[in-house]
Chains A and B, each alone.
Chain A
């Protein structure tokens, strides 16, 4: 595909198989093995598994492996053309990023890119486009790049090794969905030693694998040749990119986003002149990715802020796929890339201007003019050329200029014109269409005449006319939606209207002379193209047109409902009658159209009531305007104004889902009445019942149902146009044909799908499935849950496609929004001027759509883990910068951990190697969104900048984190088991809050808080007349406490999470400057040279405990007297001299002495004997032990050998079995 361009003409080198080296060895080994296995297969019985359990284990393992492979299928809801895949080239500075992009672009397009600025879109194959973006080197740029990258090429300087940027970027990628990653090793020519190169490659590859997965692709670019990467290697790299598959990422598939590849400042120059620092209007261009974009969506511009879209326009694809525009080979090649910011292609993008580059031999507009000009107006040719030339010098594209100049046209009162427009929007019946005006085509590729509009207005040369005719085209289209079922009288009326419209149109033309709001043109949907010629005649004299307009308004205002200016004019004329006429015509017209479309009936008219949610400011404006209006109106008029359309003015109707009307019931007892619905019952005709369902499938005619439709609110009945049926016949038939064709197409599609997915099912069954919904579907296939899920998703997708195909373009736009893959122009108003001033094309702008409920602010609870490479733990309430969804903002988290009982306990610091909860305040993101936290944005930081990763668990509006609190009090008065505790509470109110709370003394006596102490008991003021002390609590304990006891109350108190968040406005300052937000306490201390405050009580010092002195026990005399004798303290006086018995000497008898001596001798002998025996035994035991140790050693050795032998055997056996199983 893509490679064809590069590989053309080169003869491919034939493959030469290796005859020596490691790969050759491997092959021979494999061949030998194969042969061996063949031999072994002769006795297959020998290799059957012997163990039941083992077989089971093997099987379960295999199943587990299979299951691990599966992922929950993701629904891909992009139905449009695929947008170009974004290839982000990232790497540390000076690693060769720009060069790689240049080489790739050169490879694909054969163009030399002078410099890489902004996204570069190229067509890489027939079905594939790529958009190359160079990732800026600051962390903000990296975070944004990770959010839009489909493929990240990580450039690594091979000669230096990995740098932190790579790992940081990998971490960012992981948090934000992990798109595809490929490593590219450069600077490999720095290695002189081949072996060292090989080793390095190996090492880097394995390090890379640990970071992503084993086998992740690391590409080697060997070196530079003439300052460029070798052609062949770039070619290979391109091939790798071209076969890459990009799985959908869940965040991106649920949010629309745009990578801006062109940015324009469309602020009116007058405003700029008045104040160069005024808020700007900005137009952003880019492909829509992710999911469909609806008109009301708010967007977040990364680094700037949230904005509502002032306008969304689908443009023609500036870089279409070749299949779309395959006419001339050569020109296609020229169109293959689009890089407006890079100074290549047709547009040169500069800070304050856009230059259009057109090679002379491409200019073809003169030719077109020549051909048609000669036939129609001979002298137009030069003018046309001049006009186009003049176009090249203007700053802004036409559409912007048009809008701008519309405002300047009504410069006498710009406000009113806006209001009028709003009003018009309200009263418009036709839904406002966003149309492709295709301003790009007109001057970017001026040779393109594939636009039919151009052909139509052949003679016209001025751009004004072009747009006018385009407007006419739109009108024609608009009329096609409506049924051409006007009878003769109606047609007559329309002719009249046309005249008026013609005049009105002339007026608009005058507006258009300075530029016209194209939405106005569209709104007039009942115009003939016939009056174009008239317009051409007077398109020059704007002033005259203006005069005409005012005259016309005086004469007849009936047809001017869509005009901008007339309201103001009317006011100035102070013509009440006119207003009423104007209103009357409006109502009349409305009633005429109501038959046409149920959708309009439901939605169209209510536009005036529903205050559009898109922008409140406008609403206010409208309200003011209407107030002003009412000022000039009589009362009745006002009432009439409020009664517009369907809503009968009663805005306070009771809402009842039941609309029971018992009065107008038919008499169901009558036979013909109940027979009429006989077929709706199973007792009736089944075939007719079935027909009922089928008919509706085929018939999708935009007709009203059964004759007439009753407008249920106003009570009016609108007769259907049965009489027109005859005139409509032909059209209807055509429609029917078209519908039939469409239906067939649908069926074919479904059949194709069926055959692809489920061959067994018959088409009949399939239709049943389609009708019957999910109940049948679940039984359709029992090949496993996973397959079923996949099938269901696919079926849903097919249904969606089929249903959406039915609709015409405008309704589809209303229903599903702008499709992905479209090239869009977003207009955003009131952007800070810094965005333009400090705009740097090297920093791509990401515009992300905000999903449901994501614009609200609240507390988010995340599960956070500090990055293990970040050296410090994180402190609660220290500001961190988080990146969630599209946003980046600074916030102050409070860390917590969930206790066993579900309580969220605050942590002062994040745990070392654990997850913890982090609660912070900020714009909400849905659960499961990844969060990335950094603290330091500066580039010069050496260490790892990512401090933590997290993901959102839930969001609340109220934070529920608690911390432990210990209230300490001292007894001031002790009764028996009751005590009054002071210093624990500061007021009686506080005591009341803690009534019933459990308390405890240090010694472990438990108690309870009762009530605030009354004044009478023990709580007297110190001096008479002074106030009683507040906050003394009466508490009871299980035992009497001491005055020296300290009483604790342990409780939990809520921790407030600071309501602080600060969006990172990095796009609103010079890129080199580091964004400075709230500083951490540490930083502030360091800056102001403040010491860390120390609480003296918290310091550890040696504890000195005095030896406790106990007083002797004193028993009162009276008690002593009562005690029994044995319990009485015996007071025996202390004797100074020892007793006589102790003092006397003992003299033995001679016989006694002998006996004593003998006994002593005998004991001595025995003792000696015992000692000897003991010694002997000791020696013996030692010997035995030594012997046993020796034996043991031998035994162990033998055992080990035995075991080794056994293991070897087992291993062999296992290998055999495995081989057998594999075989």
Chain B
């Protein structure tokens, strides 16, 4: 007991889930061969930023990185949370990348988490902050998280490459989650959305909305997409535009899709940037495309979209020792990876049964019995 036995892992894959689960279960981990074969070996900037964020939120955690950055030793501390925290997420990944683990950490923290995150708010790689507001928070409600405390304010938007966005996040703490039987996807009753433009003409936003509506109107009349035109400081440092859509069903499920168009980041690509500037996809195409993506997500079925599968599984696994049952569409690779990490860390396996008639998958699990241990009793 005296010596710390580290759980040995390899590679930088699923870094977020691994660190998150390690912190929640307080298992020390040792990750080797992180981008070892690459020309630029070692941890990526966003991964380092993630580690910093974890360090900020926890009490007395120990992070050791070797010289090349290919080896990481992480001994988690106790999740403290707290207010007046600021974190700069950098420009290599969007805020959405950090939000996903942050939400779960915040739920199991000692104090309510109030944090300001700076960086890229909208990105094509990660779910945008709008999606978190519109889809992820309602998802948490199914697991007994009070919706009053959950808050995400978008103070300013920032897109790649230079970011400049800022969001204020508030997450309440919970004693424990509650297991859910959530298999009824319901039928789509309304579609909402938000199209934003930063440092470009407001007209582009309207174009996107028009194009998206064009597709939905054949299926549903209740479509409302707001436009969010940001100016000056609120618009961040780079021009760009994007749209996020949410389909709400009769049973309270939210299925979302979002995308952002902006100039690519990266120093090595700077020379190409000049010509790249002309290559932004036309706004109308973006709207149309994303509407199709949303329809495809709806077609897949399930109570959440493919983006939220991982989070859904994590929430199920972190429930008390009760059976949770959820239905998702086709398992996404991210979801599968998450399932494996859950198995490795929490020792929770899901019963996965395909439902051939609808093309969905039903997952069942017996929660790990996670409780918020860091909360103080009086």
Contacts and interface: CB of A to CB of B under 8 A. Distances in A.
Interface of A: 75, 77, 254, 291-292, 294-297, 305-306, 598-599, 602-603, 606, 609-613, 616, 619, 646, 650-653, 655-660, 662, 665-669, 674, 676-684, 686, 689, 692-693, 695-697, 699-706, 709-710, 712-713, 770-775, 796, 799-800, 803-804, 807, 811, 814-816, 851-853, 855-858, 923, 926-928, 952-958, 1063
B339 A700 contact: no
A144 B46 CA distance: 50
B59 interface: yes
A857 B333 contact: no
Contacts of A814: 349
18 contacts: A611-B344, A619-B8, A652-B33, A655-B15, A655-B17, A657-B308, A657-B309, A658-B125, A667-B292, A668-B215, A692-B358, A696-B360, A712-B336, A771-B184, A855-B1, A857-B2, A923-B1, A953-B377
Nearest to B28: A856
A667 B285 CA distance: 12
Interface pairs A-B: 4 shortest CB-CB: A651-B11, A957-B60, A705-B354, A706-B359
A851 B26 CA distance: 12
B192 to A, nearest CB: 14
Interface stretch (B163-171, B199-207, B272-280, B366-374): B366-374
Contacts of A612: 344
Nearest to B123: A658
Interface string B301-322: 1000011111100000000111
B126 A658 contact: yes
Contacts of B133: none
Given A660-B259, A682-B250, A774 B178 contact: yes
Nearest to B188: A681
B38 A652 contact: yes
B365 to A, nearest CB: 7
A229 B213 CA distance: 88
Nearest to A807: B351
B184 A693 contact: yes
B289 interface: yes
B83 interface: no
Contacts of B110: 954
Nearest to B184: A771
A702 B127 contact: no
A616 B4 CA distance: 11
Given A657-B334, A696-B360, A957-B59, A662 B293 contact: yes
Interface stretch (B149-157, B225-233, B262-270, B323-331): B323-331
Contact of A602 (B2, B220, B306, B340): B340
Contacts of A857: 1-2
A686 B26 contact: no
B220 A955 contact: no
Nearest to B128: A658
Most chain A CB within a 10 A radius of its CB, from B37, B218, B293: B218
Given A652-B34, A682-B220, A955 B292 contact: no
A930 to B, nearest CB: 12
A254 B299 contact: no
B292 A665 contact: yes
A652 B350 CA distance: 25
A926 B373 contact: yes
B124, B180, B321 — most chain A CB neighbours (10 Å) = B321
Interface in B1-15: 1-2, 5-15
B252 interface: yes
Contacts of A683: 219-221
Contacts of B344: 610-613
A956 B331 contact: no
A703 B340 contact: no
Contacts of A610: 340, 343-344
Contacts of B352: 598-599, 602
Contacts of B178: 774
A775 B252 contact: yes
Contacts of B323: 799-800, 803-804
Contacts of A678: 219
Contact of B11 (A652, A803, A952): A652
B331 A712 contact: yes
A657 B60 contact: no
B376 interface: yes
Interface in B163-187: 178-187
A682 B1 contact: no
Given A650-B13, A655-B16, A771 B183 contact: yes
A811 B189 CA distance: 37
A811 B349 CA distance: 9
B375 interface: yes
A804 B365 CA distance: 10
Q: Which among B180, B259, B327, B364 has the highest number of chain A CB atoms within 10 Å?
A: B364
A799 B327 contact: no
A847 B115 CA distance: 43
Nearest to A598: B352
Given A292-B321, A599-B349, A602-B339, 6 more contacts: A598-B361, A655-B337, A656-B125, A665-B293, A774-B144, A927-B375
A773 B142 contact: yes
B26 A598 contact: no
A627 B44 CA distance: 28
A659 B293 CA distance: 11
Contacts of A653: 11, 13
A681 B281 CA distance: 30
Contact of B185 (A662, A693, A957): A693
Contacts of A686: 187
A815 B366 contact: yes
Contact of B27 (A613, A710, A774): A613
Contact of B349 (A603, A679, A697, A856): A603
Given A651-B33, A652-B11, A770-B181, A682 B334 contact: no
A662 B188 CA distance: 22
B100 interface: yes
A700 B353 contact: yes
B311 A771 contact: no
A181 to B, nearest CB: 26
Contacts of A659: 306-307, 332-334
Given A619-B8, A652-B12, A655-B15, A676 B358 contact: no
B13 A702 contact: no
Contact of B299 (A305, A676, A796, A923): A676
Contacts of B100: 657
Contact of B25 (A619, A652, A669, A852): A852
B228 to A, nearest CB: 20
B360 A705 contact: yes
A1063 B1 CA distance: 10
Nearest to B259: A660
**B38, B187, B252, B309: residue with the most chain A Cβ atoms closer than 10 Å:** B187
B291 to A, nearest CB: 7
A697 B26 CA distance: 37
Given A77-B321, A659-B334, A852 B373 contact: yes
Contacts of A75: 320
Nearest to A253: B321
B64 interface: no
A954 B11 contact: no
**Interface-centre pick from B250, B308, B343, B353 (highest chain A CB count, 10 A):** B353
Contact of A655 (B14, B321, B369): B14
A655 to B, nearest CB: 5
A690 to B, nearest CB: 9
B183 A957 contact: no
Contacts of A816: 366
Contact of A651 (B10, B298, B365): B10
Contact of A702 (B188, B298, B340, B353): B353
A856 B5 CA distance: 10
A926 B219 contact: no
B251 interface: yes
B371 A958 contact: no
